Amino acid sequence: MNDKKKEKLKSNLVELGLMEQEDTIIECLQANYRRKLLGNTGEWKQGWIYFTEKKIVYPTGLLDENIVIPYESIRRIEKCSQGFIPMGIAVTYDDPKTGSETEDRFSISKRDKWIAFLSEKAGL
């Protein structure tokens, strides 16, 4: 992704309040996230995930709350599956809004690369 495109995406995320002006987008890629339903059940929804210097950002749309995970709040990163497809990442973190531990799941390509990246950023 070129710098001009990253700046446009950054501008949109800053305007939405999902990213700070001093942060930088490292990569943006198509991903799915597990929209939580009742208990441990959920359905997978398609969208875009942003990896910045400081956090994971996943805008979910109008019906769900956007997912913003600061790297320092990450407690665990594990592999998971999207149905029968083994390309998911489960991220457990301390939610700054609720103060409780939360897990979100994302399905992305090259998950081993992103698990290594997140582990380094989170200090795990």
Which pLDDT does position 34 carry in this prediction? 82
Per-residue pLDDT of the chain (124 residues), as tens digits, is 677 888 888 888 888 889 999 999 999 999 988 877 666 667 788 889 999 999 999 998 777 788 899 999 999 999 988 777 788 899 999 987 788 898 888 999 999 999 999 999 999 8
Q: Is residue 67 within 8 Å of 57, Cβ to Cβ?
A: yes
What is d(CA 113, CA 42) in angstroms, rounded to the nearest whole number?
A: 25
Longest dimension (CA), the chain: 42
Regarding beta strands 101-107 and 85-94, do their DSSP bridges make them parallel or antiparallel, or are they unpaired?
Answer: antiparallel
Tokens of 120: 């380094």
Which pLDDT does position 44 carry in this prediction? 81
Which pLDDT does position 99 carry in this prediction? 82
Which pLDDT does position 69 carry in this prediction? 93
Q: Which domains, and CATH codes, for the chain?
A: 3-122 (2.30.29.30)
Which pLDDT does position 39 carry in this prediction? 60
